[in-house]
């Protein structure tokens, strides 16, 4: 597993970005897509249909872009079958393993901002009201989801390393490391 200071063994063409909800996966994916001229496929946009219903063609869409040569995406929806498609095609996995208080603050800001401003997201969806964020519990509450899944990547990474030995993994532990890695690796 590489760190922010290790050079990449090759210029990647198919990149997965993993991390807890709120770590900045999509933001980094957009930046890498622009710098390395890669197609960015946002999994939230492929997954959420109108009314937050899962799109039936989600996994087919993931398979279609994963079969292409140059892309970057956020690695999420692992229970929806993306584990069977994405890591076997990727040549780089960037793991945003940031401190929990940092990603918690980021998610709180993002959630509150989107809910207060009623920001339109994928396929016309709008996050529920701020009141619902404070009162609803379970999978429907992104703040609860983040808290419950915050250790997911730490638990999974050893089996990912073993199961995909050709996959280069870069572990970035703080946004400062990410910026340092971008300056050194992305030309």
Domain boundaries of the chain, sorted by first residue: 14-185
β strands within 7-90, DSSP E: 14-19, 39-41, 71-74
Per residue in 67-118, pLDDT (tens digit) is 999 999 999 887 777 888 999 999 999 999 999 999 999 988 988 888 778 8
Q: Three-state SS for 30?
A: helix
Q: Given this structure, which CATH class describes domain 14-185?
A: alpha beta
Vertex 154: Cα angle to 96 and 29 (nearest 5) = 25
Query: Residue 135 pLDDT more than 90?
Result: no
Asked whether the whole model's pTM tops 0.95, one would answer: no
What average pLDDT does the chain have? 90
The backbone torsions φ and ψ at residue 173, rounded to the nearest 5 degrees and listed phi first, read -100, -5
Q: How confident is the model at residue 63 (pLDDT cuts 50, 70, 90)?
A: very high
Within its chain, how far is the Cα of 20 from the centroid?
8
């Amino acid at each position: 597993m590489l760190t922010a200071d290790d050079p990449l063994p090759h210029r990647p063409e198919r990149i997965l970005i993993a991390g807890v909800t709120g770590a900045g996966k999509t933001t980094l994916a957009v930046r890498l897509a622009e710098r390395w001229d890669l197609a960015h496929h946002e999994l939230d946009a492929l997954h959420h249909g109108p009314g937050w219903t899962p799109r039936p063609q989600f996994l087919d869409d993931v398979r279609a872009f994963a079969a292409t040569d140059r892309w970057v995406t956020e690695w999420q929806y692992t229970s929806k079958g993306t584990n069977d498609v994405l890591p076997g095609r990727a040549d780089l996995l960037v793991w945003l393993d940031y401190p929990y208080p940092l990603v918690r603050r980021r998610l709180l800001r993002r959630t509150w901002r989107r809910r207060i401003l009623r920001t339109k997201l994928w396929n016309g969806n709008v996050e529920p009201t701020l009141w619902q964020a404070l009162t609803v519990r379970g999978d429907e509450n992104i703040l609860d989801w983040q808290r419950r899944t915050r250790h997911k990547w730490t638990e999974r990474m050893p089996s990912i390393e073993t199961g995909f030995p050709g996959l280069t993994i870069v572990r970035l532990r703080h946004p400062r490391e990410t910026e340092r890695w971008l300056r050194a690796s992305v030309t």
